[in-house]
Structure 1
Amino acid sequence: MLQDDLPAATVDAVAALLQTARRILFITGAGMSADSGLPTYRGIGGLYERKDTDEGFPIEVALSGRMLQSRPEVCWKYIAQIGAACVGARHNRGHEILAAIERAIPDTWVLTQNVDGFHRDAGSRQVIEIHGNARSIVCTRCSRRDTVSDYHALALPPMCPACGHVLRPEVVLFGEILPPEATEAYERETRLGFDLVVSIGTTSVFPYIAAPVIEAHEQGIPTVEINPGDSEVSRFVDHRIRSRAAVALQALWQRFAASRA
């Protein structure tokens, strides 16, 4: 069942889990921001649908830390496409609902792969941006940091006005390590454990994104997936809602809020 044709029994069961949960982890991917007008990463400019970029590189090579060092103009061409989409859109109802759940259940955390900053815009405070945030750019030499308001206005590659070296977005490129602060938060909170883990709009191809779902499943902790398609964790979850994120979350919120009225 897709989109507005939601399975009522499954929605009721997941809403009941929300009502009793005390520590919740929401794991979000590109599908979370699809209702904001952002394409999923398999669709950004067709990059992941094509074998190679215009320059003849696989997209994972073009968007790598090594490419930023050797040919920054190539790397920035594709960084700018993603950054422009993030800066030009805004959060959606699904983001607002996760923020509302955090207000109702204070030990609610969001682990997001998205670099658009929408979770914080919507009011979530306990957010682990495991891949960074595209709104901030930093110098590769002097560490000067600025906020990007318009990716379309950037020269490619953009250069630091202070020292003249290449700027970079504060996001994780292919082949780079995850940001230490986000990694520490991830490890700290997963060690404490959760009594409900919900995966939303992600294919879960990265081990650190799939791991909380798989570990919860192995420990008998309830798991949920909201995703129109299949993912690497689909076989591990107790409940699946095959729907866009905002649609499913709105249905869950209506039942959850009604139970607390």
Structure 2
Amino acid sequence: MDETIRRVAEKLQQTERILVITGAGLSADSGLPTYRGLGGLYNAVTQEGLPIEEALSGPMLRRDPALCWKYLAELGRACLGAQPNAGHHAIARLQQGKPQCWVLTQNIDGYHRAAGSAAERLIEIHGELSPLYCQSCGALSPDLAAHLQLPLPPLCALCAGVLRPPVVLFEEMLPEPAVDSLYAQLRQGFEVVLTVGTTASFPYIVEPVTRTRLAGGFTVDINPSVTALGRLAEVQIAGRALDVLPELVSHIKFD
């Protein structure tokens, strides 16, 4: 066994309060492109000449829902076209064996839930792509795939209002319940924090790493390349989550 893998596995074995933070790199191992590679959406501007941040914004959804949904549909089709990988399943197994293991994800694809992660210990800080809900009457419409086969934007069957996913668009606030849940857990503290497949510098991603390390906890970054976030961690493991996480979890003996 690689010495670094052994060391991290031993730490996970010995501790209970664990936070796993995941980003787009984890789902990229499922074949889902990271946003900057998704049909080139984030590489420059849209076909309409707009920055993608403007097209996929809350104001655009209100002003021109068809345009916003054109690019929401791209995200939806990509997410529906892939499935959880061994990394997602390894995290779910860790949660099953460690009842105080939490997952904080930036991803909106729902793969953690699909892999079996405990919903009550899963913080989807950017929301998710389904179920859709009506902005006018609040009615739920769970079949995203069916809506993507119809003209856009999708409309409510009850009142003909525009449907939207419970996802955080640009220029929108993070969901308060998710933020409250994260900081409630941070106040309790974590013994180990793993960052997986993320390069984000958002405060709510960086703070758990820095706070845990300052408190004497153990921090690990799993990423194919060294990132600014990874430099904050005590240990860096260069590799794909798809390969690293199953090996890590395989060396943990659960009660």
> If the length of structure 2 is used for normalisation, what is the TM-score?
0.94
Counterpart selection for 1:222 from 211, 214, 218: 218
Residue 147 of structure 1 and its aligned partner are, at CA, apart by 0.9
2:30 is aligned to 36
1:3 is aligned to none
Residue 149 of structure 1 and its aligned partner are, at CA, apart by 4.1
1:90 is aligned to 83
CA distance in 2, matches of 1:84, 1:24: 32
1:164 is aligned to 160
Counterpart selection for 2:68 from 63, 71, 75: 75
Counterpart selection for 1:178 from 174, 178, 202: 174
Residue 241 of structure 1 and its aligned partner are, at CA, apart by 1.0
Residue 230 of structure 1 and its aligned partner are, at CA, apart by 3.2
Moved more, 107-116 or 141-150: 141-150
Counterpart selection for 2:234 from 217, 232, 238: 238
Cα deviations across residues 21-70 of structure 1 (Å, max 9, x unaligned)? 11000000111112222111221111122x21111111111111011111
Q: 1:121 is paired with a residue of what secondary structure?
A: helix
Residue 148 of structure 1 and its aligned partner are, at CA, apart by 2.6
- Percent of pairs with identical residues: 47
Q: 1:109 is paired with a residue of what secondary structure?
A: strand
1:197 is aligned to 193
Aligned residues: 252
Residue 79 of structure 1 and its aligned partner are, at CA, apart by 0.6
CA distance in 1, matches of 2:226, 2:137: 43
Q: 1:241 is paired with a residue of what secondary structure?
A: strand
2:127 is aligned to 132
Q: Letter of the aligned partner of 1:118 in structure 2? A: Y
Moved more, 150-159 or 90-99: 150-159
2:137 is aligned to 142
Q: Letter of the aligned partner of 2:209 in structure 1? A: V
CA contact (8 A) 2:35 2:42 kept: yes
Moved more, 172-181 or 223-232: 223-232
1:207 and 2:207 equivalent?
no
The 1:154/1:133 distance shift into structure 2, 3 A limit, reads farther
CA distance in 1, matches of 2:211, 2:235: 16
Structural RMSD (CA): 1.6
Residue 100 of structure 1 and its aligned partner are, at CA, apart by 0.9
Q: Letter of the aligned partner of 1:57 in structure 2? A: L
1:4 is aligned to none
Counterpart selection for 2:7 from 4, 7, 13: 13
CA contact (8 A) 2:132 2:144 kept: no
Residue 194 of structure 1 and its aligned partner are, at CA, apart by 0.4
CA distance in 2, matches of 1:114, 1:177: 16
Where does the alignment leave 5 or more consecutive residues of structure 1 unmatched? 1-6
CA contact (8 A) 1:227 1:242 kept: yes
CA distance in 2, matches of 1:74, 1:206: 27
CA distance in 1, matches of 2:110, 2:174: 17
> If the length of structure 1 is used for normalisation, what is the TM-score?
0.92
Q: 1:132 is paired with a residue of what secondary structure?
A: coil
